[in-house]
Structure 1
Amino acid sequence: MKPLAGPVLITAAALVALTGCGAGDSSSSDSADSSAKLSVKAAYMPQPVTDSMAAGFLVIENDGGTADELTSVTSDLAQDVTVHETTGQSMQEVAGLKVPADGELVLESGGNHLMFENLKRKPKEGETVSLRLNFTKSEAITVEMPVKSATYQPTSGH
């Protein structure tokens, strides 16, 4: 038994020393405070004009010090919900959109947006559509998106 006492004590001393370093390291406690802190505002869907597709708009705010990325969206309204990036006059489906640290990702008419494809039903003005936003780092966020008139234009937030 005595031959193990030396290595065990050295290992225990090393663990105590490492634990002490971690506890006093300000970067480890700051990292929890600087994580992405996401919230959603100004969500809406214009009443779709077709039976098969709809668009969705919202703002994802990040009050944290770490950037994140919107990677996918699901909804019981549609078979597929895709994320689209608009550049100039063209839009294309993308795998994700960045949510900057201490910033926001704006999904708006004429810009980046969500496309609800292969609708299971056509929602009407006054209804609410449930969707789930999935991110690289943060937990998913469930959003209740109100359906507005087809000509609705937000006055703020977009």
Structure 2
Amino acid sequence: MLLAGCGSGDSAADLSVSGSYMPQPVSGSMAAGFLTVTNSGGTEDKLTSVTSDIGEVTAHVTVDSAMQEAEDLTVPAHGTLVFRSGGNHLMFEKLKRKPQQGEKVTVKLHFADSGTVTVGIPVKSATYNPKTGH
């Protein structure tokens, strides 16, 4: 899945999202989401928040094997921001319903400069492990 954000030319952030997935949650109240944000533009941007209609979403980073909520995360110019198992991830809490394998969960990624990028995250099996490691 590839969705382009706002921006034009090499001087602005030019965002796209790929590799998104959510393992089917084993709990009815929490889930995790993973994806990669690529910035092909010449200016960094910041992911400031994430929202979804299925519950509350926060971005977490893993520091010294411990999860910490992040206020914002930088998407570097000509770089990526990767959310993967064992690293940065999206944490869904207070779920209004339990996502099922085969459906898509809609999330809105809110960026400081590029605005909002909407992504449909496919729900995979609880044991799904992508070949890319993301």
Deviation at 1:32, TM superposition (A): 5.2
| 1:13-92 aligned within 5 A | 33-78=10-55, 80-92=56-68
Higher RCO, 1 vs 2 (CA within 8 Å, ≥6 residues apart): 2
Deviation at 1:88, TM superposition (A): 2.0
Task: Provide the residue aligned with 1:139 in structure 2.
Answer: 115
| 1:75-114 aligned within 5 A | 75-78=52-55, 80-114=56-90
Deviation at 1:156, TM superposition (A): 2.0
| Structure 2 counterpart SS, 1:120 | coil
The structure with the larger Rg is 1
Which runs of 5 or more residues in structure 1 are unaligned? 1-30
What fraction of aligned residue pairs are identical, expressed as a percent? Answer: 61
How many matched pairs?
127
TM-score (normalised: structure 1): 0.78
C-alpha RMSD over aligned residues: 1.3
TM-score (normalised: structure 2): 0.91
Deviation at 1:137, TM superposition (A): 0.8
Q: Which has the higher helix share?
A: 1
Task: Provide the residue aligned with 2:5 in structure 1.
Answer: none
Q: Which has the higher strand share?
A: 2
Once residues 60 and 130 of structure 1 are traced to their aligned partners in structure 2, the CA distance between those partners, rounded to angstroms, is 16
| Structure 1 counterpart SS, 2:94 | strand
Which runs of 5 or more residues in structure 2 are unaligned? 1-7
CA deviation profile, 1:98-128 (whole Å, cap 9, x unmatched): 1010000000000001000100000111011
Find out whether 1:152 has 2:114 as its counterpart: no
Task: Provide the residue aligned with 2:3 in structure 1.
Answer: none
Deviation at 1:33, TM superposition (A): 3.1
Over 4 Å off, 4+ runs: none
Task: Provide the residue aligned with 1:18 in structure 2.
Answer: none
| Structure 1 counterpart SS, 2:114 | coil
Once residues 96 and 149 of structure 1 are traced to their aligned partners in structure 2, the CA distance between those partners, rounded to angstroms, is 29
